[in-house]
Amino acid sequence: MQSYQNLKILKTLYQLKSLGYCYHSNIDTNQSASNIELSNNIDHLNKQIQNCFLCDLSKSRKQSMPGFGSKNAKIMFVDYKVSEFDDSSNNYFNGKSGVMLKNMITNVLQLPLENIYYTHIIKCKPFENKELTNEENSCKNYLLQQIKLINPEIIVTLGEKAYKTLTNDKSEFENIRGVMIKFENKKLFALYHPNFILRNPNKKKVLYNDLIKIKSIL
């Protein structure tokens, strides 16, 4: 029944079109933040992120999460995407991965969480197992503006996906992991993601040594 009704509607639309009626072109719901004016105030920018509806993820998220921490942070941690744990709680450092990241910062780097800035490239929780492409374009300019306004001395990317999406570098991850790289006149370190360490605990010592390198230049 529904298919028959749809066919009748479609036939009517084609008849109207033949009489000269015009229809609006398709709307691309996945737009880039480069198409909008981004605030030069970090608080206002974060409100823009919270109220963003540029891509399809706005339909499935509970909220958009701009970031956590100090507006004057010397070090910024960049994850790839908001986790389901963080989205459901509207908070940061949840789940086993979040707890491990918190311990990396507070126990190894010996920094209070309030002194760092932690954010994501993708500011919303993605759909289950969905490959993200347009969403990266929508969100990345928000992140670049956050980097500009917070102006950290050190950027730490968590995992291969975060590093390659931010830098557009196609290098083998193992060749650049733990190595200080210049990015936008800042020091950048690419580290294993805590989720990777949870799945590969034999790499925990490697991550620890990389964190010690970062600590030595703080």
- pLDDT tens per residue across span 5-30: 555 665 666 566 666 666 554 444 45
Q: Is residue 167 part of a domain?
A: yes
Segment 132-169, tens digit of pLDDT: 666 666 789 999 999 999 999 999 999 999 999 999 99
Q: Is residue 3 part of a domain?
A: no
Q: What does the pLDDT read at residue 198?
A: 97
Q: What is the CATH number of the domain that holds 188?
A: 3.40.470.10
Residues in Cβ contact with 109 at an 8 Å cutoff, skipping those fewer than 6 apart:
75, 211, 214, 215, 218
Q: What does the pLDDT read at residue 203?
A: 97
Q: What does the pLDDT read at residue 6?
A: 54
Per-residue pLDDT for 117 more than 70?
yes
Q: What does the pLDDT read at residue 101?
A: 97
Domains in the chain, number: 1
Q: What is the pTM of this model?
A: 0.82
- Write out the residue range of the structural domain in which residue 155 sits: 27-217
Q: Is residue 192 part of a domain?
A: yes
Per-residue pLDDT for 2 more than 50?
no
Indicate the average pLDDT of the chain.
Answer: 86
Of 24-38, 65-79, 130-144, 162-176, the poorest mean pLDDT is in 24-38
Q: Is residue 12 part of a domain?
A: no
Q: Is residue 15 part of a domain?
A: no
Per-residue pLDDT for 91 more than 50?
yes
Q: What does the pLDDT read at residue 137?
A: 66
Q: Is residue 20 part of a domain?
A: no
